[in-house]
Homo-oligomer: A and B are copies of this chain.
Amino acid sequence: MTTLKDIAHLAGVSTATVSRVMNGKGEASPQTIQKIQKIIQQVNYHPNRTAKMLSAQKSNLIALLIPNLRNPFFSELVQQIEQAANRQGYQIYLCNSEDNRQKVEYYLETMQDNYVAGAIIDSLFVEQMDLDQLEQRHIPTVTIDRTHLKHPYAALNVDHLQGEYLATKSILQHQKQAQLVFLSGPVGEQSSQDRYQGYLKAIQEFGATSLGILYGDFTYESGYQQMTQFLQQHTDLQGVVCSNDAMAVGALRACQDHQLRIPQDLQLVGYDNTRLGKFTNPRLSTVQQFGINYFDLIIDELTKQQKQQYWLTPQFIARESTYGGKND
């Protein structure tokens, strides 16, 4: 590997001079600058990032802690955030915790080792203690959807209750006395619990009935499986409210396997507005949590540390899996 020292040798100067030239800091005569730059070109030298990190005690990495990549919502999130980060000269240090507390701990430790410029936290299993530690280490943090956690940095909060209320309402507006079921994420998952409350609120408001709550794990497979099982025992269902799009797609297929027409026999809504939703048959009505412009904002928060709290207003997107939907 070509090092600073090599360049210094070749140019007949000290490493300090080369370093200064590379970073445009301090003084250097035009001749030396030229000579050094020429050599750098010739041997295609580029400074070692690891050494740089250690020396500077900082990096251009932004940690992105997510629970998994199975839920398309997160793979889309990763893409969007990565692009926004790149635009501002940052790289993403992807911390996929695989729904596993141990991995969360591992990544929280290695974030520090990697001298990350900031952390974006969107994961269950992150506790107050962890955020306190990040704060103590002066790692700017943006939490996404971790409303119950406290820290002095920025937070993007999502009103799940309101979102699912809107979604559920969209079903009930066309069928006030409908019997519905709620397809939730894993037991204990806060966002799903909040969404469940929104679902219940709409049900009460319209005097409709909830036939229960099903627990999936945000995958197509679990949506399909839970719904299939449910339909074996219930025939009097008019609507399914799902805690994410992927499960909605699974549930949709399960309903169709039971010869139910969507939305005529049964209305169905997803959540998250993942790209797939526009291409299912029928197209999926869903809830949009945040628009594409929020990702740059997240990176800005980390780098400029404006330390704002955002409350995002979810929007219902009507498509074909509920009445009143339209193509888009």
Contact = CB atoms under 8 A, between A and B. Distances in A.
B50 A54 contact: yes
Contacts of A256: 281
Interface string A1-40: 1000000000000000000000000000000000000000
A286 to B, nearest CB: 15
Interface in A177-191: none
A253 B279 contact: yes
Interface stretch (A112-120, A163-171, A292-300, A309-317): A112-120
Contact of A1 (B46, B92, B137): B137
Contact size range, A: 35 or more
Nearest to A251: B279
A74 to B, nearest CB: 9
Nearest to A262: B281
Contacts of A48: 54, 113
A252 interface: yes
Copy count, this protein chain: 2
A49 B110 contact: yes
A205 interface: no
B281 A280 contact: yes
Interface in A270-328: 275-276, 278-281, 283, 327
A69 interface: yes
A115 B50 contact: yes
Contact of A278 (B69, B94, B220, B276): B220
B220 A50 contact: no
Contacts of A210: none
Q: Which 5 A-B pairs have the closest CB atoms?
A: A49-B113, A75-B75, A253-B279, A220-B279, A281-B281
Given A48-B54, A220-B278, 17 more contacts: A48-B113, A49-B110, A49-B114, A50-B53, A69-B75, A72-B75, A79-B96, A86-B98, A92-B94, A94-B94, A219-B275, A220-B276, A221-B278, A249-B279, A252-B279, A253-B279, A253-B283
28 contacts: A48-B54, A49-B110, A49-B113, A49-B114, A50-B53, A50-B113, A50-B115, A68-B79, A69-B79, A72-B72, A72-B75, A79-B96, A82-B96, A94-B94, A219-B275, A220-B276, A220-B278, A220-B279, A221-B275, A221-B278, A249-B276, A249-B279, A250-B279, A252-B281, A256-B281, A280-B280, A280-B281, A281-B281
